[in-house]
Amino acid sequence: MRIRPYLPADRDAVADVCLRTADAGADATGVFEDDGLWAQVFALPYVTRHPELARVVEGEDGRAVGYVVATDDTDAFEDWFHDEWWPSIAERHPFPPVERSRQDGTLIYAYGRRAGAEPYAALGYPAHLHIDLLPEAQGSGWGRRLIGALLDDLRARGVAGLHLVAAERNAGALAFYDRLGFRRLDSHPGVQAFGIRLDGSADDEA
């Protein structure tokens, strides 16, 4: 295996990894009526807008078995998601008037995405990421290397800090971010947000 930059040919593989890890690290196939919704919200917008910040773990057959995707400016990204990305696919995903399922909840979240909807950028963590690895790429340091490479890229751009949000029930992920030195931030029920400063300032100053 090796880490390499994301290529347009990786798009379907990234979507597949997203689906197969979306249920708090487990396979989410069948959780939604539309399996493709996971990637349309949590992976494909990032490789579309910021392919230069995306990296994949390439398996022995050349197919991506893990990835990290990110934006260096959450507010700008969320406005783009709201104004350009989501309208391009919203016809396939009507707004649900009532939240009856996890798919409905995700759609309501997607329709509500815009700058300032989440507080973390304003707290000194303007970048954010999503990272997912299939089981064959887990436990061998690939996740740590992916995040390390991304942090180097963000520091080179002068980004002050980065945040992410993980499912509260994904104990392995929470412990992983603790080990990497991320700080736990105040969070919504059911999730745990993390932040890390990249500009040398102390987290308690954020």
Q: What is the pLDDT of residues 44-102, one digit of tens each?
A: 999 999 999 999 999 989 999 999 999 999 999 999 999 999 999 999 999 998 899 99
Confidence of residue 205 (pLDDT cuts 50, 70, 90): very low
Give me the sheet containing 191-197, strands edge to edge: 2-5, 55-58, 64-71, 127-133, 161-167, 191-197, 183-185
Local structure of residue 94 (DSSP, 8 states):
P
Strands (E) in the chain, as ranges, are 2-5, 55-58, 64-71, 127-133, 161-167, 183-185, 191-197
Q: What domains appear along the chain, each with residue ranges and CATH number?
A: 2-205 (3.40.630.30)
pLDDT in tens, 117-174: 889 999 999 999 999 999 988 888 999 999 999 999 999 999 999 999 998 888 888 9
| pTM exceeds 0.85 | yes
Model confidence at 206, pLDDT cuts 50, 70, 90, reads very low
